[in-house]
Amino acid sequence: MSAYLDFVALLRTRGVIPEKAPPAEGADRPWFVVLLQGVAGWLAGIFLLTFIGLMFKPSSTGAIFALGALLLVGAWALYHADRDAVFLDQLALAISIAGQFAVAWGIVKDHLSGLPIAATLLGLQVLVLIAMPNQIARTLAALFATIAWVFTVRFVLRPGQGEQMFFGYGHGETPPILGAWTLPIAWALTWLPLLALGIWLVRNEAQWMSGALRKLARPLLTGVLLGLSLGGIAAEPFTVFLLGNEMVGMRFSWWALFPLLSVALAMFAAYGAFRMRSHGLLGFAIVAALLHLSRFYYLYGTTLMWKSVIMLVIGALLLLGGARLARRDAETGGAP
């Protein structure tokens, strides 16, 4: 008997479920299969959009938007048509991604500016998350919504900053709204809601699992944990990602410490993954943490000597904390 049927029998014995035949064993879709299908779907969506663009040559924003909306409706219909037909699911993912690109392009085509683009993408991804009845599509939407949220807060508090980098021209960089406090407040505004959402979803798993919310909450949790792991890159000056720019000088700056906060976010995501027993998410969070560490190395803002000192001090503190927890574990004999 499989582990699944063993477990169903155990649930019956304990009176958790009635004597009713269980549903067929669900497809075990490991993380790397989701990754493979997600990336393939994304690429197929871009090819599909290119084909449609070349075929119909829509030029006005209205036509592009209408085309995108049509594609999204088509994807939604395909998902609904036959939820067990995997080819249709994968095709629907490609169509949905093509539709999202087209809708986003239709909305922001004539308004190349950071905030409207980020806000539009956020709205679009939330819509896809709610509407598309597919786990992979929803997970991707949740991840992209997280990233779009990060950029939205960034452009609200630091208007125009980084537009030159993204679009090749800017609308003029205005001073940050909150002056010197912009950075810590932006960090808190960006990450605290996402952290709170992640904590709530992890803690209340049994509650949302028992209701219709489970269809949304599961991909949302995965997307938020992925976003917390990697999203730190988007929160900082994009120049940092490009390994240095004259915008960030060699003088000591608090900017330099931000990749370390990103490491902390990634480690929180790792803990969330551990709570969910998800090996894929755990691995992703660890890789993201190492990526943030390498960015800390390249990020100007303070000298490497200072960074070395910071890492040595943090290393010693972490080791002390780890040793203390290990001692406590040994003393209690691992008792809960």
Partner 1 sequence: MRRGYTPARMQSPLKRSELDGLAEFYSLDPQRTETMLELAGARPSRAEGLRFLGRCLRIAGVLSLAAGVVFFVAANWSKLAVFGRFALIEIVLAGCVVLAFTRPPPAVIGRAATFLAFISTGALLALFGQTYQTGADVYELFLAWALLGLPLAVAAQWSVASAAWVLVLNASLLLFCGWNPSGGLLWAIFGGVHFRPAHLIMGAAWLNLALWFGFEFRRVEAVPDWVRRLVLSCAFGFGTWGGVLGVAGGDLVFGDMKGDAKTVLALAAVMAAVVAYTLRRRSDVYPLAVVMGTFIIVSMVWLARVIEFRDEGTFLFLALWLTGTSTAAGKILTTLAPSWRAVPKP
Tell which positions 274-333 bind partner 1, by CB under 8 A: 274-279, 282-283, 289-290, 293, 297, 303-305, 307-312, 314-323, 325-326, 328-329, 332
CB of 220 to partner 1, least distance (A): 13
Tell me how far the alpha carbon of residue 39 is from its chain's centroid.
15
**How many residues bind partner 1, per CB under 8 A?**
92
> What x/- string results for residues 69 through 108 when contact with partner 1 is judged by CB under 8 A?
-----------------xx-xxx--x--------------
Instruction: Give 112's DSSP letter.
Output: -
Amino acid at site 262: S
Residue 100: count of CB within 10 angstroms of its CB: 25
Q: Which is nearer to partner 1, 24 or 180 (CB)?
A: 24
Sequence-separated (6 or more) residues with CB below 8 Å from residue 115 = 152, 155, 156, 159
Closest by CA position to 48, among listed 111, 113, 98: 98
Measure Cα distances from 22 to 12, 28, 298 in Å: 10, 16, 54
Binding mask 101-130 for partner 1 (x = CB under 8 A): ------------------------------
> What Cα–Cα distance (Å) separates residue 225 from each residue in 128, 275, 291, 315?
18, 11, 16, 25
Q: Does 44 bind partner 1 (CB under 8 A)?
A: yes
- According to the binding rule CB under 8 A, does residue 243 interact with partner 1? no
Show the site string, 204-223: x = touches partner 1 by CB under 8 A, - = not.
-xxx-xx---x---x-----
Cβ closest to partner 1, residue 175 vs residue 322: 322
* Residue number, 23 or 172, with CB nearest to partner 1: 23
The rounded distance, in Å, linking the Cα atoms of 257 and 277 is 30
Min dist CB 321 to partner 1, Å, is: 5
Establish if 25 lies at the interface with partner 1 (CB under 8 A): yes
Residues 171-210 that bind partner 1 (CB under 8 A): 205-207, 209-210
* Nearest CA among 91, 90, 98, 100 for reference residue 122: 100
Closer residue to partner 1 (CB): 73 or 326 = 326
Helices and strands, number each (H, E), in the chain? 15, 0
Smallest gap from Cβ 270 to partner 1, in A, equals: 7
Candidates 13-21, 124-132, 167-175, 249-257 — which segment interacts with partner 1 by CB under 8 A?
13-21
Least distance between partner 1 and beta carbon 77 (Å)? 16
Integer-rounded Cα radius of gyration of the chain: 23
- Judged by beta carbon, residue 157 or residue 269, the one nearer partner 1 is 269
Q: What are phi and psi of 251, to 5 degrees?
A: -70, 160
Nearer Cβ to partner 1 (115/257): 257
* Nearest-angstrom CA–CA distance, 94 and 6: 38
DSSP 191-226: HHHHHHHHHHHHHTHHHHHTSTTHHHHHHHHHHHHH
Among 9, 51, 251, 252, interactor with partner 1 by CB under 8 A: 51
User: What is the smallest separation between the CB atom of 238 and partner 1, expressed in angstroms?
Assistant: 23
Task: For partner 1, give the closer residue by CB, 41 or 198.
Answer: 41
Q: Which stretch binds partner 1 (CB under 8 A): 25-33, 69-77, 107-115, 183-191?
A: 25-33
For residue 191, which of 145, 239, 153 has the smallest C-alpha distance?
Answer: 153
